[in-house]
Amino acid sequence: MKAIVYERFGNPSTVLTMAEVPVPWIGPNEVLVEVHAAALNPVDYKMIQGNFFMLGPLHPKVPGFDFSGTVLAVGSNCRRIKPGDHVHGMTWFYKTGSLAEYLAVDEEAVAVPHPKSRHLSHVEAAAVPLVSLTSYSSLVNLAGIKAGSNVLVLGGSSATGQAAIQIAKAFQAAQITTTASPRNFKLVTSLGATAVVDYRAEDVFEVLRNQGKTVDIVYDTIGGGAAVWENATAGGGCGVLAPGVQFVTITGDVQRQLDIVDLLSRGYQIATRNFHTLLNCGLGRYHQYTQPSGSQDLLAIRELPGYAVAVDKVFRFELEDVKKAFAYLMTGHARGKVVVKMKEGAQ
């Protein structure tokens, strides 16, 4: 089969190649999927660049988590998925590889789109999993969002931010504040944001402080350094963070190469900030990153009324087009998902 591969770390524009590799074998708990579309995520190019080099031996050198396609075969222990099913999902971290014609993936990592959503094209279905599962796991499983919560989403126009706004709306959050550039105000408002702050002109925490507002959940999709945490807690006590606050960042302060120094730095941040929130914020919690969950949450997401993940641009499964797709994603200007269409005529 054809697959996008890399043999060394570096910029996707220089290290990616198209290669003929064996069709993967499936284990007893796996399914073999003919991939119709694969969506790209920032973690994909960061892995290619070597940001997670310590974990390099754990995953193959075929990038890609998100996919949508048709099941061709199932392992002997599979009971939920059958050949011919149209499925979407994301691979586990140690087993990437959706930028290939065929993919072996654990049955628990895939879902058949909800019957109400069978109109989803493969391109649209591929856009859903990673960003949706990350945001759902962060807001629902970790932060315990409920009706009446006041939620702040940092980076509302990012794909994870768009997912978070819709999830917060579906769970009947009282207020959904987000940050975006003016060109994306209309977008995030249409998704359910009740207040939008231009991050280029104002500090959202200062705006909230001046308005006398507090937030129950902070969901940070963009990072921004220690200044984000310091601005949130400025003014004594817990600042604009409400008692019992859940502060979740999926990036940490700075996204950099994962090494011992970075792990120690993250550990120190988590320990000291949790001590601060436990002491000053009514047993609040600070979390860095959250593991996306599996197919059951993916099915729950598809139940949310009006939920959708915007697709920004679609590229063909050809080497130069895939390189262009990564280059576009790396600009940081995508308004939704960047998807690679694997099969000619795939919708």
CA angle 221, 94, 28 (to 5 degrees): 130
Strands 30-40 and 102-106, sheet pairing: antiparallel
Q: What is the pLDDT of residues 48-73, one digit of tens each?
A: 988 765 555 555 689 999 999 999 99
List the domain range (segments joined by +) for residue 329: 2-128+309-341
Tell whether 245 is covered by a domain.
Answer: yes
Token pair of 82 as six digits:
């059958």
Contact by Cβ (8 Å): 85, 7: no
Question: 338: burial class by Cβ within 10 Å (0-12, 13-18, 19+)?
Answer: buried
Tell whether 298 is covered by a domain.
Answer: no
Residue 272: CA count within 13 A, CB half-sphere: 10
Please check whether residues 158 and 282 belong to one and the same domain: yes
pLDDT tens, per residue, the chain with 347 residues: 999 999 988 999 999 999 999 999 999 999 999 999 999 999 899 889 887 655 555 556 899 999 999 999 999 999 999 999 999 999 987 777 999 999 999 999 999 865 555 567 899 999 999 999 999 999 999 999 999 999 999 999 999 999 999 999 999 999 999 999 999 999 999 999 999 999 999 999 999 999 999 999 999 998 877 888 888 888 777 889 999 999 999 887 766 666 566 667 778 787 888 788 888 888 899 888 766 767 788 888 888 888 888 899 999 999 999 999 999 999 988 888 999 999 775 65
Please check whether residues 112 and 209 belong to one and the same domain: no
3 state SS of 156: coil
Tell whether 27 is covered by a domain.
Answer: yes
Q: Give whole-number Cα distances, 108 to 77, 91, 137, in Å.
A: 11, 10, 16
pTM as predicted: 0.88
- Sign of the torsion formed by the C-alpha atoms of 265, 270, 275 and 280: positive
Please check whether residues 109 and 177 belong to one and the same domain: no
Token pair of 232 as six digits:
């949130």
3 state SS of 123: helix
User: Could you tell me what percentage of the chain is helix, strand and coil, using 3-state DSSP and rounding each to the nearest 5?
Assistant: 35, 25, 40
Q: What is the pLDDT of residues 186-231, one digit of tens each?
A: 999 999 999 999 999 999 999 999 999 999 999 999 887 788 888 8
- Backbone angles phi and psi of 63, in degrees to 5: -75, 170
Contacts of 252 (CB under 8 A, 6+ apart): 223, 266, 269, 288, 289
pLDDT at 96: 74
Please state, in angstroms and rounded to a whole number, the distance separating the CA atoms of residues 53 and 46: 10
Domains in the chain, number: 2
Please check whether residues 82 and 139 belong to one and the same domain: no
Please check whether residues 195 and 257 belong to one and the same domain: yes
Please state, in angstroms and rounded to a whole number, the distance separating the CA atoms of residues 161 and 157: 6
